[in-house]
Chains A and B, each alone.
Chain A
Amino acid sequence: MKATLAVLAGGVALTVLFTLIPAERTGAPWVPARADEVLERVAPGSKPVVAASADDAAVLARQLIEDSRARGGDPRLLGRAQAVLAPWWTAADAPAELVLMRATVKQALHDFPGALGDLDLVLRTRPGDAQAALTRATVLTVLGRPAEALASCELLPREGEPYAGCAAGPLALSGRLEDGLAVLALAPQSAWVRSLRGELLWWKGDVAAAEGELRAALQLDAGDAYTRLLLADLLLLDARRPGEVAALFPGEVRNDGELLRVVLAGAAPEVRADLEARVTANRQRGEVLHRREESRYALAIEHDAARALQLAVENWGVQREVADARVLLEAAVAAKQPAAAQPVVEWLEATKLPVPGLRALVKELRP
């Protein structure tokens, strides 16, 4: 009898003690144990900003856009910029500075026709506006209309960095790659110019020289996130040295694009799981801004060629940069659907770009 009671009491006691072991955090909510436990870090002095006037709004929006860029393209800050501009979102008679900020936000949200409309408005009131001209050229380049982009660049003074930076890409995409390189050679050799030269050399097929230029650009401006991503893609796709990609993005907090390259280069399971969680969250949100990256993810990591192709085709419908062409070609090859890549093949012929990597993929399309 005593033994029985002892066993029963022992079991109950152990179980009660067991419940004192704290549960680990799953996706379930919890109550923090201490009032001073830090849950999240924000910029000090975060509060909503309400613009009193259109001019104030333009200033606030510019600040938010620059902050977004400094953080590698934070969509929350873009959303806030849009909210600040909201009362004047469709106003055709808003101040030029505000319309310019509107155009920049629209461009970031991939509303390219909307951005062009606003930029045309700005250029009507401020014909020589350098930023409007440059942004307009960028949008037209993304849309695959290099001749019109060049016309926009002509609004800038010929000497100097802005013209070179503006015209190099469109020149290359109009079948005048050497002219693009020549224009860059004449400009001051800033980080931006060297990064562009790296990109053009990559398109030319000179991978080693391209890498040299991209690395030089990063030496001049270590914060240039765009160049860093370019270099990562070069190492992954053409230099075939994925082992060096992780070193480009040290540290734990990486934005989605950086995380994708790190995982494509080969990463630990926890890192892959982090990327998967972000991709899932974006899908739940119904986000459509990242189709190029999603296509790469679908192909390389989910091994879903059909989905990758669908995303790549949708992406090509919105933007036509060399990276978009590559993603569509790779998906078409993997899904064995050469017809889907026909628009890219035609585009490649029109631009006369050598890009050996792309040409090789085109060959693979026709067995």
Chain B
Amino acid sequence: MVSVLLGALPARAHKGSDAYWTLKATGSHFTGRLDVALKDLALLLPLDPNGDGALTWGELSAQRPALCTLVQQKVSLAQVGARCVLDCGALQVVTHSDGTYAALELSGSCPADLVTVQATYELLFDVDAQHRGLLSLGAADSAHWDAFTSNQRTRDVTFAAVSAGEQAGLAVIQGLHHIGVGWDHLCFLFALLLPSVLRRDARTWVTREAFKPAFLDVAKVVTAFTVAHSVTLALAAFEVVHPNAKWVEVAIAASVALAALNNLWPFVPETRWSLAFSLGLMHGFGFVSAIQDLGASGPRLWLSVFSFNVGVELGQLLIVTALVPLLWLLRGRALYARVILPLGSAVILGVALFWVSQRV
């Protein structure tokens, strides 16, 4: 019986086999990652020793040394014929549109600074002639990929060199921008600064006479907030902790609500800076996605984190120096203690509660 439908074979169903390879260069060092589909890797390594068709994390991680050896054989960078050192880092797992992939961190160094190098990629072509190795030299989700195919296994690739100065500058601007459009962070600051030109006397608000106490109050609040969010930003940016992004947003909104609530029913009467610190911790986690968008990694990550922070503090400083004199001028009016402070705080409280409900 002629297998007639062999004639009408559609090759347009699933995606062909791809591996995704990212690289970033700093001077003569590079870091990166290689994502290989587990479906494909199963053809090269014994990923399913018990033959049940289910590839588990245990089965994969047991093959890490063999995977590393394989990658070092089939993937390489060279400068003018001199091969670069390629080391394997941590093995993780990642999801792409057509299934689960092994994600192997890579690092290494070349004899000279990385500008243009010869990249060779030969994984899987012998078992899948339609496999492609896709290399990206930018951030992980950049649009441009260089394709290595069975017929083209070596390519000259050029790294876009960003000087330290450019990188820092971009990060500062990103920080400035982030605080400028970050309404939740701004409302948090407003709520904490509104009472700075008053002081608590028994159970009422009284206008401050001298500027110095007000100034000190502002300085303590801003410094406490800055220290708090800088610490948590660094912890998350360097991946010491991995906070859940969705709940971070909820917690930030809640922190704004609490700061505003404190103005209406002061539960932290004297040292608002302690509240600024405690509630400000969550805000640092909220900045992390902006750092990740900068795409820095490896030894230069500290530069991006530091510069971003500088940008945030600059922005904060601008806002404070614009706002506080205004508050100082208004503080004397009866309206301030009786209307502006409570009404302003109530509005911020309402908006913050709305954000909480939206973000949950």
A8 at the interface (CB under 8 A from B): yes
- Interchain CB contact (< 8 A) of A27 among B8, B12, B94, B145: B94
Contact yes or no, B43 A11, CB < 8 A: no
Q: How far is the CB of B255 from chain A (nearest CB, A)?
A: 9
- Contact status A134-B57, CB under 8 Å: no
B57-A35 in contact (CB<8A): yes
Residues in B whose Cβ lies below 8 Å from that of A255: 13-14
Q: How far is the CA of A66 from the CA of B270 in the complex (A)?
A: 77
Q: How far is the CA of A18 from the CA of B90 in the complex (A)?
A: 25
* A284–B145 CB distance below 8 A: yes
Most chain A Cβ neighbours within 10 Å, of B2, B12, B98, B140:
B12
Per-residue A-contact encoding for B37-51, CB less than 8 Å = 1, 0 else: 111101110111001
Q: Which of A170-178, A273-281, A331-339, A356-364 contacts B (4 or more CB under 8 A)?
A: A273-281
A80-B93 contact in complex given A35-B57, A165-B4, A226-B10, C-beta closer than 8 Å: no
Known contacts A42-B42, A108-B9: A8-B48 contact under CB 8 Å: no
On whether the beta carbons of B247 and A18 are closer than 8 Å, the reply is: yes
- Proximity bits, A265-294, B CB within 8 Å = 1, else 0: 000000000100110111011110110010
From 217 to 264 in chain B, residues with beta carbon under 8 angstroms from any chain A beta carbon are 228, 232, 241-248, 251
Residues A281 and B39 in contact, CB atoms below 8 Å apart: no
How long is the Cα–Cα vector from A38 to B279 in the complex, in angstroms? Answer: 39
Asked whether A95 is an interface residue with its Cβ less than 8 Å from the other chain, the reply is no
A138 at the interface (CB under 8 A from B): yes
Give A46 Cβ to nearest chain B Cβ, in Å. Answer: 4
- Is the CB of B212 closer than 8 A to any CB of chain A? no
CA of A319 to CA of B208 in the docked complex: distance in angstroms? Answer: 83
Chain B residues with CB under 8 A of A281:
15, 18, 96-98
Interface residues of A in 285-335 (CB under 8 A from B): 285-287, 289-290, 293
A24 near B94: Cβ-Cβ < 8 Å = no
The answer to whether B132 and A46 touch across the interface, beta carbons within 8 angstroms, is no
Q: Is the CB of A19 within 8 A of B243?
A: yes
Q: A39-B38, A83-B126, A161-B4 are in contact. Are A278 and B12 (CB under 8 A)?
A: no
Chain A contacts with B in 214-247, Cβ cutoff 8 A: 225-226
For chain A, residues 24 to 47, give those with C-beta under 8 angstroms from any C-beta of chain B.
24-32, 34-47
B99 within 8 A of A: yes
Q: Which A residues are in CB contact (< 8 Å) with B132?
A: 285-286
Given the contacts A3-B271, A27-B141, A257-B13, A44 and B97 also touching, CB distance less than 8 Å: no
Residues on B with C-beta less than 8 A from A351 are none
B5 touches A192 (CB 8 A): yes
Asked, given contacts A48-B44, A285-B147, whether A256 binds B4 with beta carbons under 8 Å apart, the answer is no
A35-B57, A48-B44, A68-B9 known; A285-B126 Cβ under 8 A: no
What's the least CB distance linking A184 to chain B, in Å? 14
Q: In this complex, what residue of A is CB-closest to B37?
A: A40
Q: Looking at chain A, what size class is its interface with the partner chain?
A: 35 or more
Knowing A43-B53, A285-B147 are in contact, say whether A134-B4 is a contact too (CB < 8 A). Answer: yes
List B contacts of A45 (CB < 8 A).
48, 51
A366 within 8 A of B: no
Judge if A71 is at the interface, Cβ distance under 8 Å. Answer: yes
Contacts of A52 in B (CB 8 A): none
Q: Is the CB–CB distance between B38 and A135 below 8 Å?
A: no
Inter-chain contacts of B241 with A (CB < 8 A): 19
Contact call A18/B243, Cβ cutoff below 8 A? yes
List A contacts of B76 (CB < 8 A). none
- In this assembly, does A251 line the interface, its C-beta being within 8 Å of a C-beta of chain B? no
Residues on B with beta carbons closer than 8 Å to the beta carbon of A134: 2, 4, 7
Residues of A close to B2: CB separation below 8 A: 130-131, 134, 162
In this assembly, does B33 line the interface, its C-beta being within 8 Å of a C-beta of chain A? yes
- The answer to whether the Cβ of B322 comes within 8 Å of any Cβ in the partner chain is no
Counting CB contacts under 8 A, is B24 at the interface? no
Q: A66-B3, A79-B130, A83-B128 are in contact. Are A28 and B94 (CB under 8 A)?
A: yes
**Neighbour of B130 across the interface among A27, A65, A82, CB < 8 A:** A82
Number of contacting residues on B, CB 8 A?
Answer: 86
Report if B275 contacts A (CB, 8 A): yes
Q: How far is the CA of A12 from the CA of B10 in the complex (A)?
A: 59
Given A8-B274, A21-B244, A257-B13, CB of A76 within 8 Å of CB of B53: no
Given the complex, which residues of A lie within 8 Å of B243, measured CB to CB?
18-19, 21, 23
A11 close to B278 (CB less than 8 A): yes
- B16 adjacent to chain A (CB < 8 Å): yes
Cα-based distance from A82 to B129 in the complex (angstroms): 6
User: A35 to B58, Cβ gap below 8 A?
Assistant: yes
Q: Is the CB of A29 within 8 A of B6?
A: no
Q: Please, which residues of chain A bring their CB within 8 A of the CB of B95?
A: 25, 27
Q: Please report which residues of chain B, range 137-189, place their CB below 8 angstroms from some CB of chain A when the two chains form the complex.
A: 140-141, 143, 145, 147
Q: Which of B10, B93, B134 contacts A39 (CB 8 A)?
A: B93
Q: Are A23 and B129 in contact (CB under 8 A)?
A: no
- For the complex, give the distance between the alpha carbons of A175 and B5 in Å: 25
A42 touches B48 (CB 8 A): yes
CB distance from A180 to the nearest CB of B (A): 16
Residue A262 CB within 8 A of the other chain: no
Chain B 93-127, CB-CB to A under 8 Å as 1, else 0, gives 11111111001000000000000000000000111
Please provide the 5 A-B residue pairs with the shortest distance between their CB atoms, ordered closest to farther: A11-B278, A79-B130, A35-B58, A255-B13, A73-B13
Q: List 17 A-B contacts (CB under 8 A).
A: A7-B274, A11-B281, A29-B103, A32-B57, A42-B53, A44-B48, A46-B48, A48-B43, A75-B15, A79-B17, A109-B130, A134-B2, A192-B5, A256-B15, A284-B145, A285-B145, A286-B145
B residues near A, CB below 8 A? 2-18, 33, 35, 37-40, 42-44, 46-48, 51-58, 60-61, 90, 92-100, 103, 125-132, 134, 140-141, 143, 145, 147, 228, 232, 241-248, 251, 268-271, 274-275, 277-279, 281-282
Given contacts A21-B247, A162-B2, A289-B11, 10 further A-B contacts (CB under 8 A): A3-B270, A4-B274, A7-B277, A36-B56, A40-B42, A66-B6, A76-B16, A130-B2, A226-B10, A281-B15
